[in-house]
Structure formats: C-alpha cells, structure tokens
Structure 1
Amino acid sequence: MRKVALITASASGLAVAFSRQLAQDGFNLVLNYRKNKSGCEQLAQTLEHHYAIDTLVHQADMTQKQDIEQLVDATKEHFGRIDILIHSAGPFIFQRKRLTEYADHEWGEMIDGNLTSAFYLFRKIIPLMRPHGFGRIVTIGFDRIEQAPGWGYRSAYAAAKVGLASLTKTVAIEERENGITANMICPGDIRGAKKEAPMPLLQMEGYRTPVGGDLAAMISFLVKPEARFVTGNILSLTNGEDVLGHYDSGKKEVFDPIAFEIGTMVYVLPWNKVATVTDRLDRVNRRSLYTVQTADQEAQFTVDQLEELT
C-alpha cells in the first residue's frame, strides 16, 4: 500500500517542489490550499498524470482550528492513513514593522498560522502514525533559527517559527519510540520562480543559489525508512549564506567594480573560456551573482571571476 503525504500550502511556492518530489517518489498526496483552488487542482492533475498517484485536494486555512481538523479527517476518510506531514504553510507579513506597530490580528495570524497550526496538526496526525510504527514530520524554519536569533521588523514571524523549532524537536523526543521522526529544514534566500524550480538535471560547477528542488531532495531523504535515526534536527540549506545578515545588517553597501549586462560575452577565469551572461542576481551587501552559459556548461560567478572581453 502506498504511503500518504499531507503537504500544507501546496498551491504555490516551495510546497510545489515538495509535492513534485514526493509524487516522483511514489507517495499518494494530500494537497492543501487556502484560496488558490485552481492552482492546487491543476498541480494535482499534473502529478496524477505524470506519476500515476492518487491525490486529494482540500481547502483549509491554517489559522483556523476547525479547518485543520477537517483537513485531517478528510484525509483519513479518503486514504485511511497519514504517514508523512510536510508543514510548509507559513504566513508572512512583508511590510517592515516594529513590534509596537503590530495589530492584534496580525500578531495572531503569525502565531496561529506558523505555530498553533502545527500543534493542531501534530495532535490529530501523530495518533494516526503510531499504529504503523512509522511517521515523518518536516517543518520549515529560517536561517540560524536554532540560535533563537532576533529578526528586526519580523518579530511575530520570528517568534512563531522559533517556537515551531522547539515544538518540532520536542515531538522528535516524545515520538521516537513510535518510529516517528520530526525535523525542520531552513531554506536560503529563495525567491520567485526559484521556489518551485527543480534541481538542474546537470549539476553546475562552482557556486549556484539553491532552489526549491534542493529542499525537496532533502525531504525525499528525510521521509525514507533509512532516515529513522535522523530526528530532532534543524537542517540548514543555505549554502553557507548568512541569510539574516542580508537584512538590516547596518553594513555599507557593496558595489561591483563593473556590471555586466545580460547577453554580454565574458571570459570565465575558472573555466578558461568565453561564455555568455544569461542572468544577474543582485544581493544586499554581497557581490552580484552572474549566471554564465556555454554550449555545455552553466554556473554562477561573481564579477571577480569574470573578465570583460575587449
């Protein structure tokens, strides 16, 4: 019998990459959305077609206890089991606000959506995992969360996620005798289309920024039976980047001595060959990253590793 994975907030973002990976691994999926029904249904149809799995699409607002409980009940009725929970829902307020500027409902949404939702999910799902002697729980955090760092202008989100880290580690302790693991993964600064992007088929040389597929590959390992002793961990997938340091660091801006436009031909020093600039990623207090490409290679380099052709 196929195992069943429930993935919250599945309609867009990182959860799309997670869903695609777990479908590829052969799991039946429960895909959850709050508002984007069409996006979630389209994803379900695509995964069913490509990987011959069964899916259940269900609406639930992760800030509402009743919605969460109905989601779990619907999953139990449809599949009869839940083996894996990927709790990727995480409401976030993009507007920079000091703690004193948060309205009551904003604070409540951050705590309920990021922390209390996990409590309700864990309380309902863990008893369904225990009889099988197997369960996998994965939550999502942020850079350096194991240090309980301060995050300026993101107080509510940071407080909720740090609480979730502790809750995840606590579940790992309490449920280890039942074969249930719980881990948190912390992504780097992944934005836009890169959240849903798979890993490149051909691994690029040199540096590249992570994409959703990189996190999905880690989840693919964590949910395997062979990962039974990997539990209670905070796993950072930032490629060594100081993600929080990009925000409000107080440092002076770093400027590249030269800027290459997309389409420019450059000499790539590590390759000893000419390549074309296909993309540029500007980073706060960091050198820009240039994606360069030849007929058979693609990678990212800083301006220090590139020379302008004269």
Structure 2
Amino acid sequence: MAGEYYDDSLSVTGSTGPSNSLTTLTNVAGAVVSFALIVGIGVWGYKLLVRDVSGIPVVRAASGEMRIRPDEPGGEKASHQGLSVNAVAAVGTAAKPADRLILAPKPIDLTAEDQVMPASMVTSGPQAAQVANLPEEATVLDANEVKAALESGNVDDLVAQLTAGVAPISDLGNSTEETLASVNSSIVEEVVAAEEQVAALVAGPGLRQSKRPKKRPAVRASVTPAAVVSSGSPSNEVKASSLPAGTRLAQLGAFDSPEVAREQWDQLSRRFDVYLSDKTRIVQKATSGGRVFYRLRAMGFEDIADARRFCSALVAENADCIPVVTR
C-alpha cells in the first residue's frame, strides 16, 4: 500500500508468541504427570517388597454382638385378630365364640386351726374347768336340788338362791322410764336428722337417680322351639307347583324319595330349630338325565339376601344349603 511500511519480522514475531506459551505449558504438564507416575511406581514397588509373603489375609474382629434376638421372635401380631366379625365377609355371619380353656383354681390349704378336729380329741364327759371359771358371786345349784324343787312345786327357795344379791326391779323407781325416754329421744333425733339430709339431697341440684345401663344386647332374640313334623303328616309343607315365579327359597339337598327328604327335614329341624322354626317345607319332584329325585327346599325369606344369610349359617355348621329362586 502506498504511504505505509510493512515489516515481515513483526508479523512473524506476533504470530509465534501464543504457540510458544502453549508448548511450555504442555511440557510442564507432561513433566508433572511423568513425575507422578514415577512416584506411584516407586510406592507400588515398595509395597510389593514389604508385603506379607505368606499370603494369609489378616481380618480384624468385628465389634459388638454377631446376632441380636428380636423382641418378638414369632413376629408381631396383626391388629383385630380372633374377632367373630372377621368371618362375616367369608360366610356372611359372625363366627362362633372362641373356645376358652379355664384352669381350675389352686387348692386351698387350711391352717391348723381350720382343720377337722379328730374325735379322739373331743371328750364326752363334762368339763370341770367351766364350773371353776364361774365368778365367785355366781350360785351353783345341784341338779338333784333343782329336780326335787320342781317335783314338789316349792320353787320359792330355788328362785331366792338364784336371785341372791340382785336388786329387784321395783327398787329402781323411775330410773327405767327415764332411761327409756332418753334412748327414745336420741333415736328420734337421729331419724329426723337422716330425713332432713335425704330431703336436702332430693331437693338439691343434680341427678336424682342414676340410670342403669341397658344389658347388651338390649333385645334378645326369643328362641321358639320348632315343632317337629313327622314324615307322615305334611301339614307344614307347600306344593312346589303353587309357588309364584321369583319366590326366594333355600335348597337343603336332593334325595331319592319324598320320605327321605321329609326325614332329613326333621333332622335339620331338631339341629337348627332357631333357623327353621318359621320356615315352610317344600318337596319338589325333578328329573335330570333320566333320573327322578326330590329336592328339599325351605320357604319364608324376605329377599335373596335373607336366603343367603340363612345358607351361610347352615354352611358354617357343615350343612348343605344353596339359595335359589323359582322360575
């Protein structure tokens, strides 16, 4: 360019400045890495020389217990176990009460004074010690003297001997009446004070009489014994042909003859009198695969849910029962 001076040495010097610094840094980093490798190899070689040549590893013993016994070895119990209501979801009704084992109480050991006294220790004769323990002023009469006085009718001397030293009642004067009056007045005062206290309690604020809690269950189911109907008199039996469609029933089994079905009903009535007391018997003839059989069914349910609850109660006692609906 005209009027300007261009120096090639300046351009070369300016372009090589940064590359020289980068080369220097690279050389320094390589030297440091090489030195680290040399130190590491030296340490590794030293450990190889001083290590245990036997090759048996040394294990430090663990501190503390190796095993700790749990607080509940058999596991923790889940909540709400053993309740009768747990069987409602499975069978429809509550389960029977759990069997309880109650041990007899320990025998009571009687003390020496409570033991039975042997007959050899009881004397049959009169004890003179009782007579000797009487007070000095007491008069002891002979049995023969008392008998002779009673036979002769002259008991004045006997009464005089018994009442010797005792003041007669007539000599007391009005002391008896005064004593009775004082006793009566004290009794009357106590009665009046008690009546006033009761009146104050009744007239005061608060509940007059505590209410007793009702017994649980408040209304107990009345158990009516079911009338056992013999197989020969089907008075409690309804014909299956007279039932309208949609009637809820419970089938209790299928039998070869109607007599066997009615006998089975009698057995179930004695076993489940609480459930079958208000039910009606139905013996229905049916045919399947060329075979004739008789179905034993019970009628008297409000809905299908009532029939299911009924069958759940019988199945819980190992009896056959299936809720059905007539078509």
Common fold, TM-score beyond 0.5? no
TM (normalized to structure 2)? 0.14
- Larger % of strand: which? 1
- Larger % of helix: which? 2
TM (normalized to structure 1)? 0.14
**Greater C-alpha Rg:** 2
